[in-house]
Chains A and B, each alone.
Chain A
Amino acid sequence: MARNKFDVDEELIESFNASQMKRLARYCLPHKRKLLIVMLLMLVSSVLAMLPPYFIRDVIDKYVPDRDYVMLVIAALTLVAAQVVITYITKYKAKSVNKIGQDIIHDLRLDLFSHLQKLPFTYFDSRPHGKILVRVVNYINSLANLLSNGIVDIVTNVLSIGVILVFMFALDVQFTVICLIGMPVFAVTIFILKKYHRRAWQRQSSKQSNLNAYIQESIQGIRVTQSFARENENFKTFEELCEDNKSSWKKAQYISLCIPNFVQIISAVTLAAIYLSGVDRISEGVLKVGVLIAFTGYIGRFWNPIIALSNYYNELVTASAYVERVFEMMDEPLVVEDLPDAETLPQIKGRVEFKNVTFAYEEGDRNILENVSFDVSPGQSIALVGPTGAGKSTVINLLARFYDIQGGKILIDGHDIKHVTLSSLRSQMGIMLQDSFLFSGTVADNIRYGKLDATDEEVVAAAKTVCAHEFIEMFPDGYNTYVNEMGTAMSAGQRQLISFARALLADPAILILDEATSSIDTETEKALQKGLEKLLEGRTSFVIAHRLSTIKNSSKIMYISDGGIQESGTHDELMQKKGKYYELNMAQFKYLNV
């Protein structure tokens, strides 16, 4: 797995293309009726906006020479009325278009987030979390304007170019042709610039993402940074990342800012060309002066929408660098997902079978487990022991189907876990992972995460079972004490107990404890085990621990190393066998007495 870190730009698998455009359009499609209405209204409003020049012409040509005050007042009142209509249209547009825009980014973000929930651990493990965060929040926000006002304005601008072109052709074909010669020049320029332009914004989004990743890690790793007094070193790195971000932004802007400039210059050149040819034709007597003057008036109206479009083009290029990343994440394959014919796993009784299971974290890596088979009867407590990194956690990860195996089968009550839905499988398991993660919220919220509709009594009962009640009560706010992922006044052991309570509250048919008590003192652990004993009656449990006192009373102890189960049996059986487990057990006395 190619892992990414903060100072490495991410590779782009698929760059912005027509199919992504189509996908984006799909988000706009539900709003097409509203969009159409707005566009029509915008046309009305732009026609009304043409009124002032019209009246001014009349003022100059008619009302002033005729000294017609009445018409002057009528003209002024008509303009006021027109402006009232325009104002209402503007209000309507702002309201509905922004609603559409917010709806689209809302939907897009929801889809992205929902997909994120299905992505495997490996996705999260292989890149800085800050890089995921910016996609869901910042990148999508950046699309809001383009997907709302952008669409409407692009369409209305294109329409108005069309309308003006009709007028221009009607007025004078030759001039119109001269005017249009500017277009291919502009198109070619854009085409040449496009590659650099796109690449510049892609680079910028990568740099932005690197910077964000570094910020996030710096915040989360602040304890380590401070305890190693590495602030200055970090600051240097941060400054470099900021500098990269700054210079990539400026470079991208060099190109972006050119584009409206080009349009203006091309428009000025065509204007000059029209004067040249116009004066020529007038001197030849084939053109009337009025036509030339009227035509130059239209040139401005022709180029204005093009300038507006070129600004949207810039926005589109910037946005496409974000759209690429967003869709890339949406296309991220799900390593583990429900099969189409997945069934709901019925209430688990607790029989677990591994049949010739072979597994490697990545294709081509060494197999962590090779041909592993074992059988657990309902209600048994299984302890997994062995050297670190031997595959104890892997067994547990496979049982909860966090990964799919490459060979063999895993059965629960005879159901192949590959053929049941993930939620029916995992919701019946209580898994306490090595890292006890607390969400920001109260202690009670965190325990309740195991069973969302648990009553306060149930929460307290779970806390009592794991011996957490006493210390929770001692916090100033008790169960309402605010905690977050950075920890609190709570020690690692206390946090483990809270996540333990959470796992218990889930009332799992299978309980999995992965180093669940490593930071808990043996006294507490002893009390905890007593509480657990009753609770675990009839449930299958898997326990990984290094402390032998934790696992001594298990119904079966499995010693895992070198890709397989080397020994299995009860404590007494294994002690008699005088194998690896025996050695492990004796070690603690040996080390104690040296």
Chain B
Amino acid sequence: MEALRWLGGYIKKYTFIIILAAVLTLIHVTVIFISPYMSGFIVDDVIVNGKYALLGKYLTILLASVAVKEITWYIRQNLMEHVSQSVIKNLRCDLYEKLQRLDFKFFVETRTGDLMSRMTGDMDAVRLVMASTMANLFQMICLGAIGLATMFLASPILGLSLLAIVPFIGVFAFKYSRVSKPQFLKVREVLSRLNSVVQENISGNRAVKAFSREQFEIDKFEKVNNEYRTEQLENVAIWNKYVPLIDFAAAMTNVIFIFVGGALAIAGKISIGQFTMMNGILWCIVSPMQMIGGFANQIQQFVASSVKMRTLLDTEPAIKNEKVTVDHVKLKGKVTFKNVIFSYDDERVLKYVNFVANPGDTIGIIGPTGSGKSSLVNLISRFYDPDNGAVYIDDINVKNIDVTTIRQNVSMAMQDIFLFSDTIEANIAYGVPDATHEDVVRVAKAADAHEFIIKMPEGYDTIVGERGVGLSGGQKQRIALARALLKDPAILILDDTTSAVDMETEYSIQETLKKSYSNKTTFIIAHRISSVKNADLILVLSKGRVIEWGTHDVLLSKKGYYYEVYENQFGDFNNAPDFEIDNYYEDEQFLERQVYRNGKK
């Protein structure tokens, strides 16, 4: 019921069309009775009584009534298709919009295949209910009502005895609905899993081949494939338990009609003519009853599908605009972290992070794998909110800036590069859809990508595979960099963007950045000293804490972690001193007291 009310919200807009369809259905149902009448007249008047002149008239009416019947049906059906397609379009758009606004955490916890199910298979159940179930249900109710009314008018006793079947059918239909609902949910759930298994297998096809795990994948798939079959058959079993009973009860109307109607006729309560007429109308009562099982099935499928859709629509994004004071502004790019603590689930990822980056500064971030580098920059774009402390841009708490405004001003080249299966040009212009070709080429040159792009068979029009498969790591990184540069942001974040690029290329990229993008606050996460060496401030992160900070020279003189990394990369690899990070700055109080000032010379 809740599901239907929810659907009602989507239908409301189409009330007029639905009323029109209902009127057409009424006409359709009424006209249905004309042709049997005409046939009766033809037999009685024309054939038996020999009024041949009437034949033309009756046949014209008969054909006209069939034409009206078919035309009203055709129009109604198309109207309902229109409504159903519009509703699922709106529903899809709403779901899509929701997905676009949900936060990273949601996507980490949800399988793509499940979401695909919401947008595809589940939609189909809605489509069916809208396009066929609703209209047919209405038509059948009308038919049944007309049929029963006619029966009652002719003989209340016969009408009542036929009506006696209805409660049985009602009970079976209700039971079927109740029992089948959880099973439909189960089917949807398995279908979701089937989607996920296949989807992942496709995305991970390289890993599958690399480990020669084809058979394992087939087995994994086969398990779900089998389960899907089992659940579907279980569904049929439930159907089989109740729906044939409904059919049986519906067929009993025939028996009741013959028995009661026949007895009434014998007793002389009704005439043979009435009996014949009622026999002609009996199907109006039988067929709606026979179709109830199908309706219940379609409605329950819809309810099962709608449950997860509604859950998705009701999911609130963790990141949303609340007390927005700043909107639609060009930010200058000052970034401040004050005592930022951030946890991911129960794991504390950042602890008491403090620093200030002035507009135009370059901030290098370096540290072991998993030390919180990416989390730190993710807080700037407000992909997550810190547990404690705050992140400020231009001295405004990011929570008070419109999320879109932040992201328009912050450009990020992520570690995990995702390219869309589209042309290289479209990928670079992703952030600025109306960019000119010249703009795209300019940033591609700045990212040192232009040359390899024009060497490709179709240059900038080359379509890259999903996730940029087919391109080398370095090539993907440079396209991602170009994409980030095109946005002309106030803050530029390069998360390990040049790790797969050789040093020479990296150097030339850095030179360009220095020349053309020096007014932007730039965050560079890297493992190579050469990538961060020229930064105005280098933060060394370990286990979520800033353990060292300063410029390259300052950090070298500290002979701490940074120095060791430097020695590793440039000194004699085997003779570097062993350095224990673990014993370094365990004192959180100390860290908390510090507000790191920008370590400019």
Q: A138-B120, A218-B96, A388-B472 are in contact. Are A229 and B407 (CB under 8 A)?
A: yes
The 10 A-B pairs with the shortest beta carbon distances in the complex, nearest first, are: A388-B474, A493-B369, A426-B212, A125-B465, A268-B66, A229-B407, A228-B431, A3-B463, A489-B344, A431-B210
Residues from 43 to 102 in A contacting B, C-beta threshold 8 Å:
52, 55-56, 59-60, 63-64, 67-69, 72-73, 75-76, 79-80, 83-84, 86-87, 90-91, 94-95, 98-99, 102
Q: A191 near B: Cβ within 8 Å?
A: no
Q: What are 20 A-B residue pairs whose CB atoms fall within 8 Å in the complex?
A: A6-B421, A64-B275, A87-B247, A95-B237, A110-B225, A117-B201, A216-B112, A220-B466, A225-B100, A235-B97, A239-B89, A261-B70, A272-B59, A283-B50, A388-B501, A389-B475, A400-B210, A491-B374, A521-B368, A523-B565
Closest to B260 in A: A76
Q: Are B530 and A492 in contact (CB under 8 A)?
A: no
Q: A238-B93, A238-B96 are in contact. Are A86 and B465 (CB under 8 A)?
A: no
Query: B residues within 8 A CB of A521?
Result: 366-369, 371, 527, 565
Q: Are B503 and A546 in contact (CB under 8 A)?
A: yes
User: What is the number of contacts between chain A and chain B, taking CB atoms within 8 Å?
Assistant: 493
Q: Tell me, in angstroms, the Cα distance from A554 to B266 when the chains sit together.
A: 106
Q: Tell me, in angstroms, the Cα distance from A592 to B92 when the chains sit together.
A: 53
Residues from 263 to 295 in B contacting A, C-beta threshold 8 Å:
263, 265-266, 272, 275-276, 279
* Nearest Cβ on chain B to A493's Cβ, whole angstroms: 3
Residues from 428 to 456 in A contacting B, C-beta threshold 8 Å:
429, 431-435, 437, 439-440, 449-450, 452
Q: A309 near B: Cβ within 8 Å?
A: no
Contacting residue for A433 out of B47, B206, B463, B465, CB 8 A: B206
Q: Are A476 and B347 in contact (CB under 8 A)?
A: yes
Closest to B452 in A: A389
Q: Looking at B35, B62, B100, B431, which has the most chain A CB atoms within 10 Å of its CB?
A: B100
Q: A87-B244, A224-B430 are in contact. Are A587 and B369 (CB under 8 A)?
A: no
Q: Are B504 and A587 in contact (CB under 8 A)?
A: yes
Q: Tell me, in angstroms, the Cα distance from A494 to B69 when the chains sit together.
A: 68
Q: Tell me, in angstroms, the Cα distance from A491 to B462 when the chains sit together.
A: 30
Bitwise, B384-396 to A at CB < 8 A (1) or not (0) is 0000000000000
Q: B240 near A: Cβ within 8 Å?
A: yes
Q: A189 near B: Cβ within 8 Å?
A: no
Q: A185 near B: Cβ within 8 Å?
A: no
* Nearest Cβ on chain A to B190's Cβ, whole angstroms: 11
Q: Tell me, in angstroms, the Cα distance from A387 to B473 when the chains sit together.
A: 11
Q: A56-B279, A64-B266 are in contact. Are A128 and B421 (CB under 8 A)?
A: yes
Q: Are A5 and B422 in contact (CB under 8 A)?
A: yes
Q: Are A552 and B573 in contact (CB under 8 A)?
A: yes
Q: Are B370 and A491 in contact (CB under 8 A)?
A: yes
Q: A250-B78, A253-B81 are in contact. Are A592 and B47 (CB under 8 A)?
A: no
Residues from 192 to 225 in B contacting A, C-beta threshold 8 Å:
194-196, 198-218, 221-222, 225
Q: Tell me, in angstroms, the Cα distance from A31 to B403 when the chains sit together.
A: 59
Bitwise, A415-436 to B at CB < 8 A (1) or not (0) is 0000000110111010111110
Contacting residue for A224 out of B85, B262, B371, B414, CB 8 A: B414
Q: A579 near B: Cβ within 8 Å?
A: no
Q: Are A137 and B191 in contact (CB under 8 A)?
A: yes
Residues from 500 to 528 in B contacting A, C-beta threshold 8 Å:
500-507, 527-528
Number of interface residues, chain A, beta carbon within 8 A: 177
Bitwise, B455-473 to A at CB < 8 A (1) or not (0) is 0010000111111011011
Contacting residue for B69 out of A129, A264, A492, A549, CB 8 A: A264
Q: Tell me, in angstroms, the Cα distance from A587 to B507 when the chains sit together.
A: 9
Bitwise, A225-265 to B at CB < 8 A (1) or not (0) is 11111110111001100110110011001100110010011
Q: Are B107 and A450 in contact (CB under 8 A)?
A: no
Contacting residue for A275 out of B42, B466, B529, CB 8 A: B42
Q: Are B196 and A524 in contact (CB under 8 A)?
A: no
Q: Tell me, in angstroms, the Cα distance from A487 to B403 when the chains sit together.
A: 23
Closest to B253 in A: A52
Residues from 368 to 416 in B contacting A, C-beta threshold 8 Å:
368-371, 373-374, 381, 383, 403-404, 407-408, 410-412, 414-416
Q: Tell me, in angstroms, the Cα distance from A235 to B433 when the chains sit together.
A: 13
Contacting residue for A117 out of B112, B214, B568, CB 8 A: B214
Query: B residues within 8 A CB of A330?
Result: none
Q: Tell me, in angstroms, the Cα distance from A501 to B498 when the chains sit together.
A: 24
* Nearest Cβ on chain B to A45's Cβ, whole angstroms: 11
Q: A133 near B: Cβ within 8 Å?
A: yes
Q: A492-B415, A523-B565 are in contact. Are A217 and B199 (CB under 8 A)?
A: no
Q: A254-B78, A485-B204 are in contact. Are A526 and B100 (CB under 8 A)?
A: no
Residues from 284 to 302 in A contacting B, C-beta threshold 8 Å:
289, 292-293, 296
Other A-B pairs beyond A432-B210, A489-B108, 6, CB < 8 Å: A83-B254, A87-B245, A98-B236, A141-B191, A250-B78, A588-B503
Q: A566 near B: Cβ within 8 Å?
A: no
Complex interface: stretch among B162-170, B178-186, B226-234: B226-234
Residues from 163 to 221 in A contacting B, C-beta threshold 8 Å:
212-213, 215-221
Q: B141 near A: Cβ within 8 Å?
A: no
Contacting residue for A102 out of B214, B233, B422, B561, CB 8 A: B233
Q: Are A133 and B70 in contact (CB under 8 A)?
A: no
Q: Are B198 and A264 in contact (CB under 8 A)?
A: no
Q: B7 near A: Cβ within 8 Å?
A: no
Q: A471 near B: Cβ within 8 Å?
A: yes
Q: Looking at A5, A452, A496, which has the most chain B CB atoms within 10 Å of its CB?
A: A5
Q: Looking at B198, B207, B581, which has the most chain A CB atoms within 10 Å of its CB?
A: B207
Query: B residues within 8 A CB of A279?
Result: 42, 46-47, 52, 55
Q: B39 near A: Cβ within 8 Å?
A: yes
Q: A269 near B: Cβ within 8 Å?
A: yes
Q: A130 near B: Cβ within 8 Å?
A: yes
* Nearest Cβ on chain A to B261's Cβ, whole angstroms: 8
Q: B37 near A: Cβ within 8 Å?
A: no
Closest to B381 in A: A227
Q: Tell me, in angstroms, the Cα distance from A225 to B248 when the chains sit together.
A: 56
Q: B596 near A: Cβ within 8 Å?
A: no
Q: B189 near A: Cβ within 8 Å?
A: no
Query: B residues within 8 A CB of A233?
Result: 433
Q: Tell me, in angstroms, the Cα distance from A425 to B407 when the chains sit together.
A: 47
Q: Are A250 and B85 in contact (CB under 8 A)?
A: yes
Q: B252 near A: Cβ within 8 Å?
A: yes
* Nearest Cβ on chain A to B81's Cβ, whole angstroms: 5
Closest to A505 in B: B211
Q: Tell me, in angstroms, the Cα distance from A233 to B573 when the chains sit together.
A: 50
Q: B8 near A: Cβ within 8 Å?
A: no
Residues from 25 to 42 in A contacting B, C-beta threshold 8 Å:
none
Query: A residues within 8 A CB of B116?
Result: 130, 133, 212, 215-216, 219
Q: A582 near B: Cβ within 8 Å?
A: no
Q: Are B465 and A519 in contact (CB under 8 A)?
A: no
Q: A413 near B: Cβ within 8 Å?
A: no
Query: B residues within 8 A CB of A130?
Result: 116
